[in-house]
Structure 1
Amino acid sequence: MRRSGCLALIAGIVLIAMAAWVLLGWSGTGPATRPLNVEIAQGSSLASAGEQLEKAGAIRSASRFRLHARLFGRSGSIKAGEFAIPAGASESTILSILQGGKAVQRLVVIPEGLPSVMVRDRLMAAEALTGSVGVPAEGSILPDGYSFERDEARAAVLARMQAAMKRYVAASWSKRQPTTVARTPREAVILASIVEKETGKPSERRMVAAVYSNRLRIGMPLQADPTVIYPITHGRPLGRRIKQSELRAKNGYNTYASPGLPVGPVANPGRLSIDAVLNPAQTRALYFVADGTGGHVFADTLAEHNANVKKWYAIRHARGEM
């Protein structure tokens, strides 16, 4: 009796130890010594996902992971995608990550007004993308954040950016107001690119669009500095003041030297600037100048404008900029 009792006690201790070992393997610290990104292919089973996790060093054994997941895991399928696995993550944590579907999100962000030469820079700097692309046509990219998968082709991401612009311009053009001076969608993008470069305040875009629209209606030169700079730098910062010779240069873009719109966009305009050109503010203003706060003050007449310019010069003198 004593012997059988001892054997039963030993068996119980062994069972408890085995259960503790299994539970420790499920909820204890995993082998990953640093954060890992693991790619789970579309349609992967628990077994194949386990093999990928073991290969990456996130778990110790694919077969044990599969067994533990079936014993202790929640019901539900695993998701496809690239997942961020924290250092030391337990099998339990890893399964929750795979079932939760919170895949790593990779983005290329294109700010409003970014020129195409710098759009290419951003695409080429995204190390998880593959292949090469040339500089896209100016004004063909819709500024936004674009998600992509590891090893996706840069050309595919660029195509999505351009398709997004085509869709947005088409939709906005269909809702254009009679007050717009744009005769075609391309003209709308050209003028919107100037508006985009002239003001960073969303609240001003319809007013800036109206000033340029008013000038176009009466044949007055737009005299927009970004159109002078663009053929010099192709959209990159000039880094100095514009020269008088550059203000006189006739190159198809310079709106000081020639009336009307330039031959093409000078940046990639965002949604608000496109909408502003197609629905400008109701105003007779023909001029605007900086007001010292990041915005602009508008004027209907040259006399009013000259007074506003004097105020702006006084602000710059006070700041030591002149």
Structure 2
Amino acid sequence: MGRSVASNALTLFIVLLVAVAGFLEWSRQQFTGPGPLAQPICLRVDRGESLASLSGKLEKKGAISHAMLFRVGASYTDKGNKLKFGSYLIPKSESMKGILAIVTKGGQSTCGTEVNYRIGVTASTLEVRALDPVAGQYTQVASYDPVTTKTPPADLTRAEAEPDTRYRVILAEGVTSWDVLNALRHVDFLSGKVKDTPPEGSLSPDSYVVTKGEALDSLIQEMQGRQKKILAAAWKDRAKDLPYKTPEQALIMASLIEKETGVAQERAEVASVFVNRLDKGMRLQTDPAVIYGITKGHGVLGRGLRQSELRAKTPYNTYQIDGLPPTPICNPGKEAIEAALHPATTKYLYFVANGTGGHDFSQTLAEHNKNVEKWRKIQAEQQKQQQTGAPKNGN
């Protein structure tokens, strides 16, 4: 009888071992295998949130099948106390192991709301965007100009109340330092003040990730630091025999190029015209410099130049002065700086708009005059269409 009891006990023990092994294998598969999530979701991990709270949230959202198993797995992998605050995109069918890796890795949030402040040449636009996790794309929630509109939209107020909202400041090529500082003074997600306008040309047109409450002065310093690095690198690798001898002069040239064309492929050709003119002792005769002398970079002129302004001898009137103006006339981007220091090799001395957004280039004054006449006809036709409301290009 004793042998029978021992045999039964051994059999039961083996059965229990098999059951435990089966349960452990099932648990492993549940933890590492595809999860039940039918479509992507945004998951917010609150600051200081517990593992128990997060696992319950995940189970309620249908991202995991067993909250307790998620907690056990987190503890077993020593990640139970390593949750990182933020909003995260959880992909469709993500495993418990994968979700745990996402919420403990940290870094910039991959989901939720972001505020992008775009500072342009003619206007500034603050956009509130939210990620649609299913489409995998950001959609605009609200948009307004803080400089011209005193009352922000309610969606911005709600976004600023969320602790994990991300902020970005984006400078367009060709903005002036006054434009930048004026725009930044009209938002409340930056702190502190900057007394003096940064030197023209010293700010790098780029995208800047900022944190709410970051010092305005700190952001300006980062913009200046990036521009210094770009200019130093381009100057070190510059072409030979350029008609400007210092990085500061190259920056002035880059600002003229930036304001003369919005077509990337033309920058080096525009640079060649200015370089050729300087080499021949010709005046640059560039309207944007004259305009800067009038506005001092404070907004746009909003009208054409008058003959009296073209005749006035000011430091920025390149129809009346020899060589470069005394300072940059805007903050040029990296491509314009590269063009100034690596101009195309051409014999061009003139260029004029051609109605397509680009320019026609020419070597002689006779060719240039023909192009100017062509451009004036295009202008006249455009004005006629605007007055009559007729569709352009026959459409």
TM-score range relative to shorter protein: 0.7 to 0.9
**More strand, by proportion:** 2
Paired residue type of 2:189: A
Structure 1 position 179, deviation (Å): 4.2
Paired residue type of 2:375: W
Distance 2:376 2:353 in 1: 10
8 A Cα contact 1:180 1:277, kept in partner: no
Structure 1 position 68, deviation (Å): 8.8
Match of 1:3 in 2: none
Distance 1:312 1:321 in 2: 14
Structure 1 position 132, deviation (Å): 1.5
Residues 162, 69 of structure 1: alpha-carbon distance in 2 compared, 3 angstrom cutoff? farther
Match of 1:112 in 2: 173
Match of 1:316 in 2: 379
Q: What is the number of equivalent residue pairs in this alignment?
A: 271
2:184 aligns with one of 119, 123, 126:
123
Match of 2:317 in 1: 254
8 A Cα contact 1:191 1:265, kept in partner: yes
CA RMSD, 1 decimal:
3.4
2:251 aligns with one of 185, 189, 192:
189
Residue range with higher mean Cα deviation, 245-254 or 71-80: 71-80
Structure 1 position 98, deviation (Å): 3.5
2:295 aligns with one of 229, 233, 236:
233
1:298 aligns with one of 347, 361, 365:
361
1:214 has 2:276 as partner: yes
Distance 1:82 1:158 in 2: 27
8 A Cα contact 2:290 2:316, kept in partner: yes
Distance 2:49 2:85 in 1: 11
User: In the TM superposition, what whole-angstrom CA distance separates every residue of 1:60-110 from its partner, at most 9, and x where no partner exists?
Assistant: xxxxxx999733648447465654799xxxxx9997763253534421101
SS at match of 2:300: coil
Match of 1:163 in 2: 225
Residue range with higher mean Cα deviation, 290-299 or 173-182: 173-182
8 A Cα contact 2:174 2:259, kept in partner: yes
Residues 82, 160 of structure 1: alpha-carbon distance in 2 compared, 3 angstrom cutoff? farther
Residues 275, 107 of structure 1: alpha-carbon distance in 2 compared, 3 angstrom cutoff? same
8 A Cα contact 1:38 1:85, kept in partner: no
User: In the TM superposition, what whole-angstrom CA distance separates every residue of 1:17-42 from its partner, at most 9, and x where no partner exists?
Assistant: xxxxxxxxxx9xxxxxxx998785xx
8 A Cα contact 1:108 1:122, kept in partner: no
Paired residue type of 1:136: P
Percent identical residues:
42
Residue range with higher mean Cα deviation, 150-159 or 94-103: 94-103
Paired residue type of 2:106: G
Distance 1:177 1:163 in 2: 24
Q: Structure 2: any 5+ residue segments left out of the alignment?
A: 1-34, 36-41, 55-66, 91-95, 110-165, 386-395
Residues 243, 73 of structure 1: alpha-carbon distance in 2 compared, 3 angstrom cutoff? same
1:270 has 2:271 as partner: no
**More helix, by proportion:** 1
Match of 2:308 in 1: 245
Structure 1 position 146, deviation (Å): 0.8
1:286 has 2:349 as partner: yes
1:103 has 2:108 as partner: yes
User: In the TM superposition, what whole-angstrom CA distance separates every residue of 1:229-254 from its partner, at most 9, and x where no partner exists?
Assistant: 11222222111111122112233111
Residues 130, 316 of structure 1: alpha-carbon distance in 2 compared, 3 angstrom cutoff? same
Distance 1:234 1:222 in 2: 19
Residues 266, 70 of structure 1: alpha-carbon distance in 2 compared, 3 angstrom cutoff? same
SS at match of 2:308: helix
- TM-score when scaled to structure 2? 0.61
Distance 1:126 1:82 in 2: 23
Distance 1:37 1:121 in 2: 34
Paired residue type of 2:72: L
8 A Cα contact 1:229 1:242, kept in partner: yes
Distance 1:126 1:172 in 2: 33
Match of 1:24 in 2: none
